[in-house]
Amino acid sequence: MSRKLFSLNPDLKKLREEGFFMQIVGGLLLMREVPYVNAQRQVKTGTLITSLTMAGDETRPPDTHVMHWDGEYPCNPDGTPIKEISNQTGPIAMGHGVTAQFAFSSKPVETGKYDDYHHKMTTYASILSGPAAVLDPKANPRTFRPPGDEEESIFNYTETASDRVGIGALTELLSKDKVAIIGLGGTGSYILDLVAKTPVREIRIFDADEFLQHNAFRAPGAASIEELREAPKKVDYYQGIYSKMHCNIVAHAVALKADNLNLLDGVTFAFISMDAGEEKLAVVKKLEALGVGFIDVGMGLELVDGSLGGILRVTASTPEMRDHVHHGCVSFVGGGEKDVYSSNIQVADLNALNAILAVIKWKKIRGFYRDLEKEHHTTYTTDGGMLLNSERP
């Protein structure tokens, strides 16, 4: 992906052609081995770092004039700090193993904006390397060093959303997971929509059903009538959509049960959005045996006096806390008057909310979001908008 971006974009290509040591790491553009002067009047080298603004595989003009820097604070030839560019002091975790020590701010005098990334990177390189060249005429950011090995992204195009707002290090916490999504009904499809936008290594999706007209009205996005006429398997329909973004979505057009649970081997987390029954209990026991955390979702809605009301449920199970799943928080016997989740009434907005709550909980378990209570069971009641947590470690 990185090599392709440098070949497709004139501003990036020009930087390499001129001999700058450029790399793309995640959604960050790096210029390495930039010479500068430190407070002891020594000539050192550091790395300039900026977020990328992209439209597909094409760069857009930088959306910020701020530049990050991994190195000591740069100085003038006499060792005094270059105060004019001072902005922020770190360390600042950028994600992808990249750390900055400072952030700089310098706007072009004429327009206040950089034309492209060649303009931005060379401007900052000149500010830092100019004093170094006074002390050492050989100091030059144009090293003509080959870029070396470049990381392969799990996405089909560069993920710039996290790095441009400084949360790349948090997003990276999700990158080691191999996630299973079991059931692609209304809630499961929204879970996939959200998880596919994270850098997890693999997403396995399981569902034996066809994608039909009633599914289209409870699913993210919009299916065409031509797609509905083909009656594709749900997993194939969704794989076709989300593989446009995420490179490793594995479709299994099967209902998980005792004789095929080996398909879960190797996953590190799972979302369960399937009906209650023996098959669900078998899935839960398999995940527990694998030592895998999972989140089970449920929805129970009733039509009473002309309006809908009910409860959404998100139940987490981790190796540290399992018992509550088998003692009333999750139903494994479908139907019956006492089963509040037995109703098949579903509405897209509540499906989406149920999925959002589940994905937020997964991210809390992984450390992406702050988790003060570490609750393992959450319910949302539509009447009154009550969100209740229970089952804490």
Domain harbouring 297, CATH code: 3.40.50.720
Residues whose CB falls within 8 Å of the CB of residue 226, separated by 6 or more in sequence, listed in order: none
Environment class of 256 (CB within 10 Å of its CB; exposed 0-12, middle 13-18, buried 19+): buried
Q: Which of 124, 155, 186 represents a domain boundary (last residue)? A: 155
Q: Is there a single domain that holds both residue 111 and residue 202?
A: no
Residue 168 belongs to a domain: no
Does residue 170 lie within any of the structural domains? no
Residue 359 lies in a domain: yes
Same domain, 265 and 336: yes
371 and 229 within one domain: yes
Q: Give the position of tokens 């500010």.
A: 127
Alpha helices in the chain (DSSP H): 2-8, 10-17, 117-135, 161-164, 168-171, 186-195, 213-216, 225-230, 234-242, 278-290, 348-365
- Number of domains composing the chain: 2
Can you tell me whether residue 382 is helix, strand or coil?
A: coil
Spatial distance between the Cα atoms of 94 and 27, rounded to a whole number of angstroms: 10
CB of 163 closer than 8 Å to CB of 139: no
CA 202 – CA 207 distance, rounded (Å): 17
Per-residue pLDDT of the chain (393 residues; tens, 9 = 90+): 567 888 899 999 999 999 999 999 888 999 999 999 999 999 999 999 999 999 988 999 999 999 999 999 999 999 999 999 999 998 998 888 899 999 999 999 888 899 999 999 999 999 999 999 999 999 999 998 877 656 677 888 878 787 777 788 888 899 999 999 999 999 999 999 999 999 999 999 999 999 999 999 999 999 999 999 999 999 999 999 999 999 999 999 999 999 999 999 999 999 999 988 899 999 999 999 999 999 999 988 888 888 989 999 999 999 999 999 998 888 876 654 444 445 567 889 999 999 999 999 999 999 999 999 999 999 999 999 999 998 776
Does some domain include residue 344?
yes
Domain that holds residue 215: 176-390
Supply the pLDDT for residue 339: 47
Phi, psi of 93 (to 5 degrees): -75, 120
The domain boundary residue, chosen from 122, 155, 188? 155
CA-CA distance, 285 to 51, in Å (whole number)? Answer: 44
d(CA 280, CA 265): 16
